[in-house]
Structure 1
Amino acid sequence: MEYSILVVDDQPENIRFVSLLLKEMGLGSKIYSAPNGKIALDLVEKVSPDLILSDWGMPEMDGLEFLKALKSSNATKDIPFIMISAIKVDADSMKESFDAGVHDYLKKPFDKLEFMARVSATLKLQNAYLKIKKNGEEIANQALLISKQHEELLKLNKLKDKIFSIISHDVRAPLATLDGLLEIFSDEEIELDENELKSYVTTVKTEVNGVQSLMDNLLQWAKSQLVNEKTNTTDVNIHDVVQEVFSLFHERTTTKSLDVYNTIEDHMIAQTDQNMISFVIRNLLANAIKFTPQGGKITVSSERTINSIVVSITDTGVGMDEESLNSLFDDSNISTKKGTSGEVGTGIGLILCKELVEQNQGELSAKSELGVGSTFSCMLPIN
């Protein structure tokens, strides 16, 4: 192994002698020298030595001051340091040196074999230390990764359990309703007038729409959990996407006599994944329809900033209190709530919307006032 070694001494002949011994040990390819600690500090930053051999008594900055300066910096505190001195050889001086962090101590004059043994031992200990440190860091990184994966698994398991709970309630309930209606339709003894038949058909549509929305959300959630899912970013005309979603909900808005407006200009282009954003707008509009009473109003508008387009869906619905608003995107607190006409929901749609918007480098936010209505704003990047 090739080492970089710094020799610090105010006597040139001492530097030459130590350098000769290092070369004799096969360590002479990168030997640097300095006449005092002050100059040596500047040199350490440039050459990053693997070992420092330093005299104690030197002008401007002595060996002990140099050692303490090295130990005060995270970048240099682990460099092995051998102190060499002819004057500071008493027990108190040696203790002071070791307390400051010196790795070994040589008294002048020293024996050639002793010098070689001390240098060799220090380098071996340093190599062992660096190996242990590296392994320790790798183990710490692995432990951190495992901890994060464990937290993610706990989170996903909790969400999975909640979803199964939602499925058991929000799928079984409408299916039970549909089963009951089919029993009525198939019973020849039950005669239904036109108004009763229309009412039952409306109920069937509501229940089927709810189950369909639930299935869409669950499938999208499953897709979003795939590790390698990629966003297909293209130029997306937001006005056209909103208009297409409007057509999907025409029957629902007509049934509830809702006025819906798409005020987005047709040149509003965002850089995003069209399928993901279409899903987001469908969910947000479905929520607006769900919580807006008969005869209400829903407006989809946009605002352009320097680097983004902000798409807002505003309704005149029931609104939310502060507590509900604060927990809106909390996947640990998924809850269901029926709409103004009995529409069912899962509570997972908004969390999915937030995830998908963020995957497209955007932001989803909401503001609401109880009894007044809500506005959901989706910021999408222009480029």
Structure 2
Amino acid sequence: MKSVIKRIGLRYLLNLGVNNQLDLQTSVRVQLSNLIAILGIVSNIQYSILFTIAGAPNVWTMNVIHFFVICTLSYILYLNQKEKYSLARIILVFTISVPLLFVSFISFGNSGGFYYYFLVFALAPFVLFSYEEKFWILIVFLSNNLFYVWFEFFGKPGEFIKGTLLFDSFIQELFRINSVLSSLFFVALIMFYFLRNTNRIQKEMIRTNAHKDKIFSILAHDLKGPIGTMNSFLGYLTENIPEKDELVVALKELKKSTNQSFLVLENLLDWARNESKKIPIHMEILSLISIVQNAKDILDLQATDKKIRWEIIVPDHIKVFCDERMISTVIRNLFSNAIKFSYPNGTVSIKGIHLGKYAELTISDLGIGMSKDQIKQIENGNPFPTTFGTQGEKGTGLGLLVCKEMLKNQGCTMNVTSSPNLGTKITIQIPNSF
């Protein structure tokens, strides 16, 4: 029942057709077109009832028109859901004026003030279309203003049947007051919604600029160091003929710098793709132990260099339902962090268990740990200052944030428990195949 209510709820209707692939401005326009369509449906139902009660001229003809307009506005919501946004907007800006034309021509004339709505609809295209679609903005603006001018200066009052409510001039005046107030309400509602989303766009721009600065900072500092180290060692190797021991040391340093650069770039690219919502998700049933073993094999050399011992207890039968590339990136990041922040000769423990609808994977170490402030930054989704591993390994402060967001995108959760100098335990819950 809850899901049914949610599907027919206002929030659901307003967000028909909105998805992660749309930029924020397009999302706002889709939401506004949905809002106007919903208001149009409600208004046509309302006036159809009022006209019938008040005995408006040609009321049944108007009811038929209202019915077709309601159907068209419902179809516009369907078009948005099918991501045919431009067609939906074009049909919308012309459809909303249709009942007004018929009301003013065959029913009320310029009585009741219904033609005031033309001024509202003349403003609608400015919030529905982009500047590149100025042709439609101009057409709709001019046509609605011409309709308003015609009925204001050349229109005639409606002819109402004696004995009906509308024959009373007081009732006609009430309709006029309602038209004025409704027009002002619709303008206020649309502009308020537009301002609200303009504020969202401004915040998004601030956030995007902050991300851009973070990327430049990482490129300038976290990549400059390892690439400079590689350049120095390569220069040394090309200008001298080192002894075997010196060559081994140089190659190890080169490998360390290469690994560090690769990790920085991988985290940076995953973070940037995730922030731009451009990561496709392909969910499938996978073996948890296979994912864990693949990540362990990739990082074996890094663990061997620090004499880190693996302790893996993951039953073969545990299956998970997730995106293989994403979950592999997450587990590889968590294993890499566990090695990086563990002391030499330490142990990295990986344990997997089946818990109802989820498989739980716990990665723990006895390394340098994290402060409460760092954990809070991770929970809030904020980058934190770069930290160094036990042998001077440098990170970006993005790895755990990338993991958290990737897990969230797959319906997974992550819990971090850590204390300085006491190690870190990270538990992730992944939906299983059952």
Question: Structure 1 length as normaliser, TM-score?
Answer: 0.69
How far apart, CA to CA, are the structure 2 residues paired with 1:376 and 1:331?
16
Cα contact 2:55–2:166 (8 A) shared by 1: no
Report how many aligned residue pairs link the two structures.
Answer: 288
1:250 alignment counterpart = 300
Instruction: Report the alpha carbon displacement of residue 5 of structure 1 after superposing the two structures with TM.
Output: 5.0
Among candidates 222, 226, 232, match of residue 174 of structure 1? 226
How far apart, CA to CA, are the structure 2 residues paired with 1:201 and 1:296?
24
Among candidates 317, 326, 344, match of residue 376 of structure 2? 326
How far apart, CA to CA, are the structure 1 residues paired with 2:265 and 2:165?
80
How far apart, CA to CA, are the structure 1 residues paired with 2:343 and 2:249?
18
Corresponding residue SS for 2:370: coil
Cα contact 2:281–2:323 (8 A) shared by 1: yes
How far apart, CA to CA, are the structure 1 residues paired with 2:372 and 2:282?
36
Corresponding residue SS for 1:201: helix
2:354 alignment counterpart = 304
Change (3 A) 1:112 1:364: closer
Corresponding residue SS for 1:249: helix
Change (3 A) 1:205 1:27: same
Instruction: Report the alpha carbon displacement of residue 183 of structure 1 after superposing the two structures with TM.
Output: 2.1
How far apart, CA to CA, are the structure 2 residues paired with 1:303 and 1:136?
55
1:4 alignment counterpart = 49
Among candidates 135, 141, 155, match of residue 187 of structure 2? 135
Corresponding residue SS for 1:374: strand
Whose radius of gyration is greater, 1 or 2? Answer: 1
How far apart, CA to CA, are the structure 2 residues paired with 1:290 and 1:255?
11
Identity of aligned residues (%): 23
How far apart, CA to CA, are the structure 1 residues paired with 2:237 and 2:165?
105
2:338 alignment counterpart = 288
**Is 1:183 paired with 2:228?**
no
Unaligned segments of structure 2, at least 5 residues: 1-43, 62-162
How far apart, CA to CA, are the structure 1 residues paired with 2:296 and 2:187?
59
2:209 alignment counterpart = 157
Among candidates 112, 118, 127, match of residue 170 of structure 2? 118
Instruction: Report the alpha carbon displacement of residue 284 of structure 1 after superposing the two structures with TM.
Output: 0.7
Instruction: Report the alpha carbon displacement of residue 224 of structure 1 after superposing the two structures with TM.
Output: 1.6
Among candidates 267, 273, 276, match of residue 317 of structure 2? 267
C-alpha distance after superposition, 1:87-133 (max 9, x if no partner): xxxxxxxxxxxxxxxxxxxxxxxx99996111011112213322332
4+ runs deviating over 6 angstroms: 24-29, 111-115
Unaligned segments of structure 1, at least 5 residues: 7-18, 30-110
Paired letter, 1:216: E
C-alpha distance after superposition, 1:49-100 (max 9, x if no partner): xxxxxxxxxxxxxxxxxxxxxxxxxxxxxxxxxxxxxxxxxxxxxxxxxxxx
How far apart, CA to CA, are the structure 2 residues paired with 1:133 and 1:27?
26
Paired letter, 1:156: T
How far apart, CA to CA, are the structure 2 residues paired with 1:122 and 1:208?
78
Among candidates 420, 427, 431, match of residue 370 of structure 1? 420
Cα contact 1:236–1:274 (8 A) shared by 2: yes
Instruction: Report the alpha carbon displacement of residue 256 of structure 1 after superposing the two structures with TM.
Output: 0.9
Corresponding residue SS for 2:401: helix
Instruction: Report the alpha carbon displacement of residue 331 of structure 1 after superposing the two structures with TM.
Output: 4.8
**Is 1:216 paired with 2:266?**
yes
How far apart, CA to CA, are the structure 2 residues paired with 1:350 and 1:233?
21
How far apart, CA to CA, are the structure 2 residues paired with 1:136 and 1:228?
35
Instruction: Report the alpha carbon displacement of residue 246 of structure 1 after superposing the two structures with TM.
Output: 0.6
Instruction: Report the alpha carbon displacement of residue 201 of structure 1 after superposing the two structures with TM.
Output: 1.6
Instruction: Report the alpha carbon displacement of residue 134 of structure 1 after superposing the two structures with TM.
Output: 2.4
Instruction: Report the alpha carbon displacement of residue 206 of structure 1 after superposing the two structures with TM.
Output: 0.8
Cα contact 1:313–1:377 (8 A) shared by 2: yes
Corresponding residue SS for 1:335: coil
Cα contact 1:297–1:315 (8 A) shared by 2: yes
C-alpha distance after superposition, 1:314-335 (max 9, x if no partner): 1121112222322235554432
How large is the Cα RMSD of the aligned pairs?
A: 2.8
Cα contact 1:309–1:381 (8 A) shared by 2: yes
**Is 1:230 paired with 2:280?**
yes
